[in-house]
Amino acid sequence: MDKANVSETEERTFQARIDAEEKIEPKDWMPEKYRRNLIRQISQHAHSEVIGEQPEGNWITRAPSLERKAILMAKVQDEAGHGLYLYAAAETLGVTREELIDRLHTGASKYASIFNYPSLTWADIGAIGWLVDSAAIVNQVSLQNTSYGPYARAMVRICKEESFHQRQGYNIMMTLMKGAKLQREMAQDALDRWWWPSLMMFGPHDGESAHSAQSMKWKIKRRSNDDLRQQFVDQAVQQAEAIGLVVPDPDLKWNDARGHYDFGAIDWQEFERVISGNGPCNRQRLAHHKNAHDEGAWVREAMAAHEAKQRSKARDVA
């Protein structure tokens, strides 16, 4: 058999394993495109967790009570942990964290566009936890069955922590809606600003999504963007109504025949603008990350130097 035939057979076996819902593990054969596609998706996911520390972390030092402060700290800390699980999952595919961070800094690798919006008031912390974490949960629950083993297992761990994030966010919104007029206005304003970016988190419509069809076939993705978005809308609308918030979409209405909410058109120009680097905080988010990374260089070097010294000491003793 010549080379082309070998890889064709391998690809067929590979697809058969995927179709049989078998998990692909790091040492297994996989098509190069599958590997690259996964690295792109997992690292984008990891970067999102890490960049996401910023808009929420902004309010740790300003949280309105000690209890809220402690909860928010634990929440943001979880997100950093998620970043860690995901970098580790990506590393099983033969890239290093350092390479991935480098790609983030050069703009070659993206992160969730929603974190390019500012968190202007305390209500934004409520809106982020409620909406952004809800959207993340909807997406991540579907990825618990993704075909790549380490990614699927990272999702299982992450999902366990996400429901606490969503609840703390919704609880902040609920408390505001039970409060003074200015607090209710603050909550509504936050929803007005975060609603549409949250819908955009699920990415382009199925027809326009560059990576969707192949990712579905390989079961890297398990459900389509539009499908996930609809589930999110159906949940969030009811949660908004339950506490007296108005979803900022005049076209929103229940469709009995579909058994879902119909909702208005997403402003894809806005989506493109932010994802291509021109949202309100793109530059600051990247600069902040790069700055912390650069300032930490001497610490990482010191650690490596110390380890090397310890190793050579151990060798001398032996």
Partner 1 sequence: MTPDDPIARYALRLGDDALIMGHRLSEWMSRAPFLEEDIALSNVALDFIGRARLFYQYAAQRVGGDTTEDTFAYSRDVRDFTNLLLCELPRGDFAFTICRQFLYDAFALPFTEALSGSSDPQLAAIGSKAVKESRYHLRRSKDWMLRLGDGTEESHQRCQRALDDLWLYTAEMFQSDPLLDDLIARGIAVDTPALHEAWLATVSETLATATLSVPDTDVEVVGGRDGIHTDDLGFLLAELQFMQRAYPGLQW
Q: Round to whole Å and give the CA distance between 22 and 149.
A: 9
Whichever of 137 and 281 has its CB closer to Fe ion, that residue is 137
Residue position matching structure tokens 């067929």: 12
What is the biggest distance separating any 2 CA atoms in the chain, rounded to whole angstroms?
Answer: 78
DSSP-derived secondary structure letter, 145: T
Q: How many CA atoms lie within 13 A of 30 on its CB side?
A: 24
- Piece in contact with partner 1 (CB under 8 A), picked from 53-61, 152-160, 206-214, 262-270: 53-61
Cβ atoms of residues 252 and 237 within 8 Å: yes
Using CB atoms within 10 Å of the CB of residue 180, give its burial: 0 to 12 exposed, 13 to 18 middle, 19+ buried: exposed
Helices and strands, number each (H, E), in the chain: 14, 2
Does residue 82 belong to the site contacting Fe ion (CB under 5 A)?
A: yes
Note whether 295 binds partner 1 by CB under 8 A.
yes
Residue 228 to residue 260: CA distance in whole angstroms: 12
Residues touching partner 1, count (CB under 8 A): 49
* Residue 47 near Fe ion by CB under 5 A: no
**Of these, 29, 278, 302, 312, which contacts partner 1 (CB under 8 A)?**
302
**Using rule CB under 8 A, residue 175 touches partner 1:** yes
> Residue 317, interface with partner 1 (CB under 8 A)?
no
In the complex, minimum distance from the CB of residue 296 to partner 1, in angstroms, rounded to a whole number: 3
Least distance CB 245 / partner 1 (angstroms): 17
The only residue of 40, 48, 83, 237 in contact with partner 1, by rule CB under 8 A: 83
Residue (49 or 249) nearer to Fe ion, CB: 49
C-alpha to C-alpha distance for 176 and 243, rounded to whole angstroms: 10
- Least separation in angstroms between residue 288's CB and partner 1 is 7
Contact pick of 53, 56, 79, 124 for Fe ion (by CB under 5 A): 79
Question: Residues 261-265: contacts with CB within 8 Å, 24+ apart?
Answer: 261/230, 261/233, 261/234, 261/237, 263/199, 263/233
Binding of residue 314 to partner 1 (CB under 8 A): no
- Closer to partner 1 by CB, 1 or 299: give it: 299
Sign of CA dihedral 130, 133, 135, 140: negative
| Residue selected from 103, 165, 221, 289 as contacting Fe ion according to rule CB under 5 A | 165
Q: Which of 216, 203, 92 is nearest to 151 (CA)?
A: 92
> Which partner, partner 1, Fe ion, none, binds residue 82 by CB below 5 to 8 Å per kind?
Fe ion
**Residues 85, 103: Cα–Cα separation, whole Å:** 18
Closest CB 95 distance from Fe ion, rounded Å: 21
Backbone phi, psi, residue 24, to 5°: -90, 130
Q: Which residues in 229-268 contact partner 1 (CB under 8 A)?
A: none
203 binds partner 1 (CB under 8 A): no
Residue whose entry in the numeric block shows the structure tokens 């960049």: 51
If one asks whether residue 118 binds partner 1 (CB under 8 A), the answer comes out as no
Confirm if 130 and 166 have CB atoms less than 8 A apart.
yes
> Taking the complex as a whole, how short is the minimal distance between the CB of residue 241 and partner 1, in angstroms?
22
Residues that bind Fe ion (CB under 5 A): 49, 79, 82, 133, 162, 165
Residues that bind partner 1 (CB under 8 A): 50, 53-54, 57, 60-70, 73-74, 76-77, 80-81, 83-84, 87, 122, 172, 175-176, 178-180, 182-183, 288-289, 292-293, 295-303, 305-306, 309
